[in-house]
Amino acid sequence: MKLKLIYFIFGIFIVLYACNDNPYKQGKILYANFCANCHGERGEGLKSLIPPLLQSDYLEQHRKELPCIIHQGLKGEIEVNGRKYNQEMPAIPKLSFFEITNVLNYIQLNINQSDTKNIFTADEVEQGLKKCE
């Protein structure tokens, strides 16, 4: 019984470690499934209809709100790189904080080639989600 528990905990650590070690792997799949249809495969957006995620000042300025935006969606007018957008973004409530972390890091580090100092931690995202309105 005790041995089983040790195996179980060990297993969890391996899974968590594997995911942590590969920040883009899950993020890439999630991005393709939930984001790319609208925001484009390279985050380029679509004219004045859908804002870009690539080199977007909005992402920099609203870092703390990003987990909630993915979780709850977004309504109303926003301005991105000087252009106004007003197309409702659907919520994706089924993503866990861990998945949101991975997709944000895919956008940050892969699409935007951002410095790794800008990486999102799972803690940061979990805290961010607690502040959703």
Interface residues with another protein (CB under 8 A) are 36-38, 40, 46-50, 87-88, 90
Secondary structure of 65-108 as H, E, C letters = HHHHHHHHCECCCEEECCEEECCCECCCCCCCHHHHHHHHHHHH
Give the nearest distance from C-beta 80 to another protein in angstroms.
13
Structure tokens at 32: 């393709």
Give the nearest distance from C-beta 102 to another protein in angstroms.
21
- With 0-12 / 13-18 / 19 or more C-beta atoms within 10 angstroms meaning exposed / middle / buried, residue 77 is exposed
- 70 and 103 in contact (C-beta within 8 Å)? yes
The nearer residue to another protein, 15 or 46, going by C-beta atoms, is: 46
Give the nearest distance from C-beta 130 to another protein in angstroms.
26
The nearer residue to another protein, 11 or 73, going by C-beta atoms, is: 73
Give the nearest distance from C-beta 117 to another protein in angstroms.
32
- Tell me how far apart the alpha carbons of residues 41 and 37 are, in angstroms, rounded to a whole number: 7
Angle at 12 (CA atoms; ends 7, 14), nearest 5 degrees: 90
